[in-house]
């Protein structure tokens, strides 16, 4: 019996567990695989608000900026509690343009950054190469966004787990949850661990199961259309070529410690398939080679595949659901790492006070249920 | 004590072991890793004589054709002795042209095939697609070489090992050879297995150690310049797209059983490095995609890397050396699988009769020693 049972030990589940435990709740995290399986440890870890302003609702941009502001404190608390580094880096990202279309895009991103009060600086091709000499000589310009920081998601997840466990969170790996239901005044979960099924009870349940939210998990909730968006990301290894994240409209290249360079990422509607493909790898390598020819001689260390949990409006669900005692923090799509700090803060607020502040209201669960009711009424 | 000790359990070492044992010798194969490690199990297994006639000495072409003629019998004997399939396939290979330069090359290959009395047939682009509908609609012509057969090198190696063991060959894996020398009327080898060093004696020693011929192996022989040529080959998995081997001047695509498709291969001077690289994979995927766009959706099963054992004239050494009792069958470069049948036949002849027939004379060991003597005299 815990105050809170969290289904899913990814970045979102662990971040919420940490914040709830910090505020005094007893918390158990139930993770079917290993922490971060699915999307969290595959993520590139860039802490970058959306620049596709036409495509991103203002409420989500505000949440991203809110999370970005919370991030330094979030990292400090995790590292202080658990003693493990999150791999935080602040070199910024460098957009590189290849032609006039790219140049227009960089002007556009510059305006967005300025509107948000975030620093950004346009560069000539010569300035780009002065900053990062391995960038292709074909680069005609650039945009340096020094506020784009990053974490190493493969460090963040173990750091979060260590922080959780240091303050008393019970993190159970290899523990799947088959059912969640209300029973005798509390929530009852059916857990499966090593072939053994056993019940678990908690006052509140938080669903943070990523793409598996509606796959193999039975709850009283209506289905709201969670689907996976597959992402492939190639890990190269060798000589360190760049210090900044290098980006253009086709690809990003993210340097990590120890000579690791990530090239990401595809976005594919392929169901739950997690195999690397020829086409995905081909695209990432050729776009990466175009902007940073020096990758040619790097070793391929691995081809990683993740599944981004996505609702049809590409916005997460944060808050209460249609069943008392069941909460949801899911559907973070490409933004789980960036949004983890805000998600943890606001979910703790909602679950401990019962109040959803107005800025979180756009992410309510009922927006999908209302859709369904309207559709049913119309049909 | 054996009649023959063979250093190296690749395709060449095992094929020679099988033939020597078939003729009555007692044979021990000493393999440092697992059979086929290095080049043999990475090979695409195409049984195709060189078409680069300008670059390939006539003596080597004759040896290839000799081996090709011996192959059906070679396969039959291996499969009969050991009871395992070599994955022999006879669908032939289909050269696909993209432009006028390719067309000229196919005319050239056609003439070579005709001179050799091997069947080959020029096709229009339409005929290419009728034969293999997944080939790119940009194909402007083709050349069908029905005499190009193939084996599956990952089946050939275990089939050879099974055949060897069935007729009494002692195949010792995990057994490295540190030294070979003449001692007390026989050859003495120092073997290392699981940290234990022990001597092994044989009347004759055959060096078939691939690229490691002069690396970590001390013999009385002069160094003759063995070097590795790295080859990367991408293994895809999924829907079966083609029945023939598909080739052009940049790439070949080899179908294997079970939906496997190999795309090969790079040729790189990278020393003993066996890591897959971004550039190698990029080139194979983009050339493969150009000729067979359907690979885009196939899974990447693995990226395999082999080291082709190569002397500076790209010809193997077959026969006696400058030390009595030490023989060599090495340096088969890209042709180890194709040349295995002839190599086994002629090495058994040479080692059992002491006579090297005139057609094998061009592959003698002394050609490199003579080079060295001349160089020393000149300097």
- Whether residues A296 and B289 touch (CB distance < 8 A) is answered with no
Last residue of a domain, one of B290, B308, B326: B308
Residues in B closer than 8 angstroms to A300, CB to CB, are: 275-278, 281, 303
Residue A67: per-residue pLDDT: 96
Assigned domain for B88 exists? no
Last residue of a domain, one of A294, A310, A326: A310
Same domain, B253 and B134: no
Of the residues A278, A285, A304, the best mutation for testing chain B's interface (the one with the most B CB atoms within 10 Å of its CB) is A278
- Whether residues A277 and B300 touch (CB distance < 8 A) is answered with yes
Residue B150: per-residue pLDDT: 94
Assigned domain for A88 exists? no
Same domain, B219 and B233: no
Same domain, B197 and B69: yes
- Whether residues A275 and B303 touch (CB distance < 8 A) is answered with no
Q: Which of A234, A277, A298 lies closest to B298 in CB terms?
A: A277
Assigned domain for A174 exists? yes
- Contact by Cβ (8 Å): A6, A29: yes
Residue A185: per-residue pLDDT: 83
**What is the span of the domain harbouring residue A6?**
2-83+153-224+312-378
Average pLDDT of A180-194?
A: 93
Of the residues B263, B270, B278, the best mutation for testing chain A's interface (the one with the most A CB atoms within 10 Å of its CB) is B278
Each residue of B62-112: pLDDT tens digit? 999 999 999 999 999 999 999 999 999 988 999 999 999 999 999 999 999
Cis (ω within 30 of 0) for the bond into B265? yes
Residues in B closer than 8 angstroms to A234, CB to CB, are: 278
Q: How confident is the model at residue B373 (pLDDT cuts 50, 70, 90)?
A: low
- Whether residues A286 and B282 touch (CB distance < 8 A) is answered with yes
Same domain, B258 and B356: no
- Contact by Cβ (8 Å): A207, A329: yes
Last residue of a domain, one of B308, B329, B357: B308
Considering only CA atoms, which of B180, B264, B150, B184 is closest in space to residue B4? Answer: B180
Residue A226: per-residue pLDDT: 97
Q: How far apart are CA A135 and CA A164, in angstroms?
A: 40
Assigned domain for B371 exists? yes
CB neighbourhood size of A360 (10 A): 21
Same domain, A219 and A231: no
Residue A190 tokens read as: 């059916």
Task: List, in sequence order, every residue forming a beta bridge with A142; answer none if it has no partner.
Answer: A96, A123
- The phi and psi torsions of B70 (rounded to 5 degrees) equal -80, -15
Q: How far apart are CA B316 and CA B332, in angstroms?
A: 5
A284 vs B56 pLDDT, higher one: A284
Residues in B closer than 8 angstroms to A282, CB to CB, are: 282, 285-286, 289, 296
Residue with tokens 């973070």: A332
Same domain, A78 and A163: yes
DSSP state of A33: S
The residue in chain A having the minimum alpha-carbon distance to the alpha carbon of residue B270 is A297
Predicted-complex ipTM score: 0.88
Residue with tokens 């050799």: B116
Residue with tokens 């050269």: B95
- Whether residues B285 and A282 touch (CB distance < 8 A) is answered with yes
What ranges make up the beta strands (E) of A103-154? 121-124, 141-145, 149-150
- The phi and psi torsions of A367 (rounded to 5 degrees) equal -60, -30
Each residue of A92-137: pLDDT tens digit? 999 999 999 999 999 999 999 898 888 899 999 999 999 999 999 9
pLDDT at B379 over 70: no
Considering only CA atoms, which of A17, A35, A19, A29 is closest in space to residue A170? Answer: A29
Each residue of B127-167: pLDDT tens digit? 999 999 999 999 999 999 998 899 999 999 999 999 999 99
What does pLDDT average to over chain B?
Answer: 94
Q: How confident is the model at residue B50 (pLDDT cuts 50, 70, 90)?
A: confident
Each residue of A233-286: pLDDT tens digit? 999 999 999 999 999 999 999 999 999 999 999 999 999 999 999 999 999 999
- Whether residues A278 and B236 touch (CB distance < 8 A) is answered with yes
Task: List, in sequence order, every residue forming a beta bridge with B330; answer none if it has no partner.
Answer: B317
- Whether residues A282 and B298 touch (CB distance < 8 A) is answered with no
Residue A372: per-residue pLDDT: 65
Residues in B closer than 8 angstroms to A239, CB to CB, are: none
Q: How confident is the model at residue A30 (pLDDT cuts 50, 70, 90)?
A: very high
Percent of chain A exceeding pLDDT 90 equals 89
User: Min CA distance, A91 vs chain B (Å)?
Assistant: 25
Same domain, B74 and B160: yes
Q: How far apart are CA A110 and CA A129, in angstroms?
A: 19
Residue A196 tokens read as: 């053994």
Burial class (CB in 10 A: 0-12, 13-18, 19+), A52: exposed
CB neighbourhood size of A316 (10 A): 24
Residue B11 tokens read as: 């395709």
Chain A residues in contact with chain B using a Cβ-Cβ cutoff of 8 Å: 234, 236, 275-279, 281-282, 285-286, 288-289, 295-300, 303
Considering only CA atoms, which of A267, A273, A259, A303 is closest in space to residue A285? Answer: A303
Same domain, A170 and A73: yes
DSSP, collapsed to helix, strand or coil, labels residue A157 as helix
Considering only CA atoms, which of B281, B291, B157, B177 is closest in space to residue B231? Answer: B281
What ranges make up the beta strands (E) of B14-127? 27-30, 46-47, 93-97, 121-124
Q: How confident is the model at residue A216 (pLDDT cuts 50, 70, 90)?
A: confident
Same domain, A306 and A320: no
- Whether residues B278 and A288 touch (CB distance < 8 A) is answered with yes
DSSP, collapsed to helix, strand or coil, labels residue B84 as coil
Q: How far apart are CA A180 and CA B124, in angstroms?
A: 64
User: Min CA distance, B243 vs chain A (Å)?
Assistant: 19
pLDDT at B376 over 80: no
What ranges make up the beta strands (E) of chain A? 2-7, 27-30, 46-47, 93-97, 121-124, 141-145, 149-150, 170-172, 175-183, 186-193, 196-207, 227-237, 245-247, 252-256, 260-264, 299-310, 317-320, 326-330
Q: How far is CA B61 from CA A64, B55, B123, B358, B360, in A?
A: 67, 10, 26, 15, 12
Residue B86 tokens read as: 């070599």
Considering only CA atoms, which of B300, B181, B194, B180 is closest in space to residue B237? Answer: B300
Residue A371: per-residue pLDDT: 63
Residues in A closer than 8 angstroms to B296, CB to CB, are: 277-279, 282
Burial class (CB in 10 A: 0-12, 13-18, 19+), B351: buried
Assigned domain for B244 exists? yes
- Whether residues A281 and B277 touch (CB distance < 8 A) is answered with no
- Report the CATH number that the domain containing residue B281 is assigned in CATH: 3.30.9.10
Task: List, in sequence order, every residue forming a beta bridge with B143; answer none if it has no partner.
Answer: B95, B122
Dihedral Cα A55, A59, A65, A66, nearest 10 deg: -160
- Whether residues B289 and A278 touch (CB distance < 8 A) is answered with yes
Work out whether strand B93-97 and strand B141-145 pair parallel, antiparallel, or are unpaired. antiparallel
DSSP, collapsed to helix, strand or coil, labels residue B13 as helix
Task: List, in sequence order, every residue forming a beta bridge with A144; answer none if it has no partner.
Answer: A94, A121
Residue with tokens 């589940």: A13
Residue A187: per-residue pLDDT: 96
Same domain, B60 and B187: yes
pLDDT at B181 over 60: yes
The residue in chain B having the minimum alpha-carbon distance to the alpha carbon of residue A285 is B282
Residues in A closer than 8 angstroms to B279, CB to CB, are: 289, 295-297
**How many helical (H) and strand (E) elements, i.e. helices and strands, does chain B have?**
8, 18
Q: How confident is the model at residue A55 (pLDDT cuts 50, 70, 90)?
A: confident
Work out whether strand B245-247 and strand B299-310 pair parallel, antiparallel, or are unpaired. unpaired
Residue A1: per-residue pLDDT: 84
Question: Residue A44: left if φ>0, alpha if ψ -120 to 50, beta else—which one?
Answer: alpha
pLDDT at A377 over 80: no
- Whether residues B275 and A234 touch (CB distance < 8 A) is answered with no
Each residue of B183-212: pLDDT tens digit? 888 999 999 999 999 999 999 999 999 999
Same domain, A291 and A280: yes
Q: How far apart are CA B228 and CA B210, in angstroms?
A: 9
Same domain, A339 and A195: yes
Q: How far apart are CA B295 and CA B44, in angstroms?
A: 17
Each residue of A300-352: pLDDT tens digit? 999 999 999 999 999 999 999 999 999 999 999 999 999 999 999 999 999 99
pLDDT at B246 over 80: yes
Sign of torsion over alpha carbons B238, B240, B245, B246: negative
Average pLDDT of B359-379?
A: 80
- The phi and psi torsions of A287 (rounded to 5 degrees) equal -70, -40
Number of domains into which chain B is organized: 3
What ranges make up the beta strands (E) of chain B? 2-7, 27-30, 46-47, 93-97, 121-124, 141-145, 149-150, 170-172, 175-183, 186-193, 196-207, 227-237, 245-247, 252-256, 260-264, 299-310, 317-320, 326-330
Q: Please compute, for residue B17, the number of CA atoms within 13 A of its CA located in the half-sphere on the CB side.
A: 34
Q: Which of A278, A295, A298 lies closest to B295 in CB terms?
A: A278
DSSP, collapsed to helix, strand or coil, labels residue B355 as coil
- Contact by Cβ (8 Å): B173, B34: yes
Average pLDDT of B224-244?
A: 97
Work out whether strand B27-30 and strand B170-172 pair parallel, antiparallel, or are unpaired. parallel
- Contact by Cβ (8 Å): B224, B230: no
Chain B residues in contact with chain A using a Cβ-Cβ cutoff of 8 Å: 234, 236, 275-279, 281-282, 285-286, 288-289, 295-300, 303
- Report the CATH number that the domain containing residue A74 is assigned in CATH: 3.50.50.60
- The phi and psi torsions of B33 (rounded to 5 degrees) equal -105, -125
């Amino acid at each position: 019996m815990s105050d809170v049972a969290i289904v899913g030990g990814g970045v979102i589940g662990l971040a919420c567990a940490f914040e709830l435990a910090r505020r005094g709740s007893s918390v158990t995290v139930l993770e079917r695989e290993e922490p971060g399986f699915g999307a969290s440890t595959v993520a590139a870890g860039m802490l970058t608000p959306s620049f596709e302003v036409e495509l991103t609702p203002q409420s989500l941009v505000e949440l991203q900026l809110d999370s970005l502001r919370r991030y330094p404190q979030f990292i400090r608390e995790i590292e202080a509690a658990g003693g493990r580094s999150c791999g935080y880096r602040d070199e910024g990202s460098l957009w590189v343009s290849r032609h006039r279309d790219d140049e227009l895009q960089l002007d556009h991103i510059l305006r967005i950054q300025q509107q948000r009060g975030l620093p950004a600086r346009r560069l000539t091709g010569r300035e780009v190469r002065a900053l990062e000499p391995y960038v292709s000589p074909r680069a005609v310009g650039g945009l340096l966004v020094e506020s784009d920081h990053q974490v190493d998601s493969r460090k963040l997840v173990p750091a979060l787990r260590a922080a959780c466990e240091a303050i008393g969170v019970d993190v159970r790996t290899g523990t799947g949850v088959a059912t969640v239901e209300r029973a005798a005044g509390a929530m009852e979960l059916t857990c499966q661990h090593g072939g053994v099924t056993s019940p678990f009870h908690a006052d509140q349940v938080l669903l943070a199961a990523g793409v598996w939210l509606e796959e193999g998990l039975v709850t009283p909730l209506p289905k709201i259309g969670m689907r996976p968006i597959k992402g492939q990301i190639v890990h190269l290894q060798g000589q360190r070529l760049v210090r900044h994240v290098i980006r253009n409209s086709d690809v990003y290249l993210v340097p990590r410690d120890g000579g690791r360079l990530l090239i990401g990422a595809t976005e594919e509607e392929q169901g739950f398939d997690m195999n690397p493909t020829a086409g995905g790898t081909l695209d990432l390598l050729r776009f990466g080679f175009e902007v940073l020819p020096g990758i040619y001689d790097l070793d391929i260390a691995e081809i990683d595949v993740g599944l981004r949990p996505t609702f049809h409006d590409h916005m997460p669900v944060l808050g209460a659901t249609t069943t008392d005692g069941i909460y949801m923090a899911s559907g973070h799509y490409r933004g789980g790492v960036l949004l983890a700090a805000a998600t943890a803060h606001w979910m703790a607020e909602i679950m401990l006070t019962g109040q959803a502040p107005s800025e979180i209201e756009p992410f309510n669960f009922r927006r999908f249920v209302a859709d369904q009711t309207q559709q049913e009424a119309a049909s």
